Structure formats: structure tokens, C-alpha cells
Amino acid sequence: MSDQTKIPPKRSFVQTLEIDMRLLGMIAAFIIVAVAFNILTGGRFLTPRNIFNLTIQTASVGIMATGMVFVIVTRHIDLSVGAILAACSALMAMTQVRWLPEFLEIGHWAIPWIAIMVGVALGALIGAFNGWLIGYQGIPAFIVTLGGFLIWRNVGWYQTAGQTIGPLDQTFMTFGGINGTLGGPLSWALGLAAIAFVLFAIFKSRHTKATHGFPVKPMWAELTIAGIAVAAIAGFIGVLTNYAVPERVVARDPSRYGCDVAEGCNAVYGLPISVLLLIGIAAVMTVIARRTRFGRYIFATGGNPDAAELSGINTRMLTVKIFALMGALCAIAAVVASARLANHSNDLGTLDELRVIAAAVIGGTALSGGIGTIYGAILGALIMQSLQSGMAMVGVDAPLQNIVVGAVLVFAVFIDIQYRKRVGAK
């Protein structure tokens, strides 16, 4: 056998750390973009305020991009996510603004939660229907969701008679970003909890590997990874808790920002709830992808649909589940997107399908199937959003902005394909 004679090659620094090279590349790209814009804008890009805005602008597309990874990994596509988002947003807005207030008083605690449940149910239902058409009826996903792209936004239009529906419920709007933040102490508490969890996970995994007798990384490599993770979390929370709430905003509603008096209170925004939601969804989706049978079957089906079928996997039902999950995520993204704007308008999420697909693809998800990561898709969304708002801040002409984003999309996939050719992966 050929591998009999092979001596283990000398491992480089990065190889010893066992970091995904692609992840490293994306982080490098993101840093380059951020630093470049920071220089071009004279230091305005990397301020707590702008980073805060970037994260809340990324949340909606990021949430949908995690679902798009599963769709694309199984060799499908979903062109209808922006339209589903609009339909769910319309239903949720109508539920909380027009229908429920007929039975419950305005501001009743149950209103936002009923609205969200109804919206998520609609999203999952539309997605499941798409999945059924694709999996059981054999209609290509491109066609089914192209139809959905035309259908669902306009179903929303009929619901609302084309009107903008608002203002949305106060609690509902806390999912939008600036209207719902955790403040300093709570943000730090969550940050510390995240750090504790990451450290626990790293050393638990090392311990399990050792008990099975597998080779483990050297201790210094483990500590380096842990150090980077801790620094990243602490840095992120540190930046967000440095964004001070303007005094006049505090003065309007001091108790909301933990102040006793309106004057002279130094409040900070901290972690937005929408970003916390994105992080939570990313964590859950990563666990699904890596640690559940459902996730394993998604990747197996993407790698070789016939093999999956012959292994006893019900690939049709799998398709229904994947699209239902995508639909539910569209509904959650709809909560974030409409809450951010404080009302539902019919053009909400227009062109989001392209942003979501681009985010997943820039994040290393291969359209040929079988390959993709959740964190990659979110980084992809972040890179896209950074480019767009960075160019807007610099004052690049609108047509040129789109030209650059389009070029970056194609270039990112080009680099990814070249990289895969070099390492010999599929």
C-alpha cells in the first residue's frame, strides 16, 4: 500500500493548531476589508458605534445564511427566502397590529409571542411545502423557489393590502437591534459564560480524545486556540460595551438603560438581542450540522445522494425537513428585519435571497454539494455587509458598490476553487 512508506511530514504552525485554513483565510479577508475601510474613512469604520451597526445589519441575512448552508450542501438552492421573509413579516405585523388587539389590549404581554409563533409556523409550513415539491415530486429546487420568489412576497402584499403596517409591539421591537440591547453588566456576564463554555469544550474534547487513545494536539497549541477564542469574545463584548447611549436617549427613558436619574448617567448599549439571537442560532445550527444524525445525513446526501439512499436514509423526508428549517429561519429573520425598522413594509427583504446565497458561498459553501460551514456563512454575511456599509461611508457611487460586491462574490469562489484544487479536496 502506498501509505506504508510515508513518513509523517513536518507539520507547520497552523497545521499543529488544526485550524481550518479556509476559516483563517476568511478572517484574514475580513480584517483586510475592515482595516482598509478604517484607513479610508479616517478611523470611522472601526468605532464601537459602527461595529455595533454592522452586527445588527448582518443579523437578518446571517440567520438565513445558516439555513442556506444546509440547502446548498444538499445540492439545492432557495431563491424564495426574501419572499418568505416578507410573507412572514406581513402575517406577524397584521397579527400584532390589527388582529390580536381586537381581543387583547394593545401592549398585552402575549401579543408579540403569539405573533412570532404564527410567523415561524407560516415560514416552516411554506418551507415544508417547497421541500415536498422538491423531494417527493421531483421538481428542481431552482424552479420551485423561483416560483416562490414571485408568489410569497405578493401573498404578503394581499394580506396587508400593500400598506405599511406599524408601529409594531414594543417587546417585538426589542429583537430589532438598537431598541433591544443587554447593557454593560449583562453583556459581560454572557461573555464570561461564553468564555467558560469555550474553555470547558476545548479541554473536554481533549480529555475524551486522550481516553480513546487518539493523538492530541500539543498543550501549547490547545492553549493558543483557547487564548485566541477568549480574546475574541472579550474583545467583541468590550467593543459593544464601549458604545455609549447618547445622553438625550437616556433622558427619555432612564430606567431602560439601568439609570436612576436622567442626568449624568453613563449607560452603554452592549450586546444587541438580535445579535445574541444570531449567535444562538449559529451555535444550534453548528451542533445540528456536526453532532446530530440529521446534520450527518445532510452532509452525506450532499456528498453522494445515492450512497445516502442506499444507507437507508430517507432523502426525500430530509429535503422536506431542510426546507422547513430554512422557512422557519426566514421567519426569525423577518422578526429581526421588521423590528429593526419598527414596521412591516412590503419591500422588506427585497434581494435578500441573493445576499443570503452570496454569504453562504463566500463563506465556503460549495454549490456542488457536501461542503459548507455555519460560521463560514456568517463570516460571509459579515464581509458582504462590511463591504457595503464601508463603501457607503467612503462615498463610493451606488452602481460601483454593486459592481464591487459582485466582483468579490465571483473572486471569493474562484479563490476557494483554487484552494481546493491545491489541497486535492473535492
Partner 1 sequence: MAPLVEMKNVSIAFGGVQAVDNVSISLNPGEVVGLLGHNGAGKSTLIKMLSGAYKMDSGEIWINGKKVQINSPRDARDNAIETIYQTLALADNLDAASNLFLGRELTNAMGFVDDDRMEAETRKIMARLNPNFKKLKEPVSALSGGQRQSVAIARAVYFNAKILIMDEPTAALGVHETAMVAELIQELKKQGLGIFLISHDTREMMELCDRVAVMKNGQMVGAERVEDVTEDDILSMIILGKNPKAAA
Binding site for partner 1 (CB under 8 A): 1-4, 208-209, 212-214, 287, 290-293, 295-297, 299-304, 306-313, 370-371, 424-426
233 and 198 Cβ atoms separated by less than 8 Å: yes
How far is 99 from 119, CA to CA, in rounded Å? 14
Q: Which helix (H) or strand (E) holds 242?
A: none
Residue (103 or 214) nearer to partner 1, CB = 214
Residue (370 or 390) nearer to partner 1, CB = 370
Smallest distance from partner 1 to CB 297, Å: 8
Residue (216 or 404) nearer to partner 1, CB = 216
* C-alpha dihedral sign at 205, 211, 214, 216: positive
Residue (422 or 426) nearer to partner 1, CB = 426
Which residue in the block uniquely carries the three cell numbers 475580513? 30
Question: In this structure, which amino acid lies at residue 271?
Answer: L
Which residue in the block uniquely carries the three cell numbers 492553549? 223
**291 to each of 272, 294, 297, 399, how far by Cα in Å?**
28, 9, 11, 43
Smallest distance from partner 1 to CB 113, Å: 28
Smallest distance from partner 1 to CB 92, Å: 32
Find, among 52, 32, 61, the residue nearest to 329 by Cα.
61
Residue (11 or 209) nearer to partner 1, CB = 209
166 and 342 Cβ atoms separated by less than 8 Å: yes
Find, among 298, 296, 416, 357, the residue nearest to 20 by Cα.
416
Residue (9 or 213) nearer to partner 1, CB = 213
Smallest distance from partner 1 to CB 369, Å: 8
Q: Write the Ramachandran bin of 314: left for phi over 0, alpha for psi from -120 to 50, otherwise beta.
A: beta
Q: How many helices (H) and strands (E) does the chain have?
A: 17, 0
Residue (18 or 347) nearer to partner 1, CB = 18
End-to-end CA separation in angstroms for the chain = 23
Smallest distance from partner 1 to CB 127, Å: 24
Smallest distance from partner 1 to CB 230, Å: 25
Smallest distance from partner 1 to CB 321, Å: 16
Which residue in the block uniquely carries the three cell numbers 406577524? 92
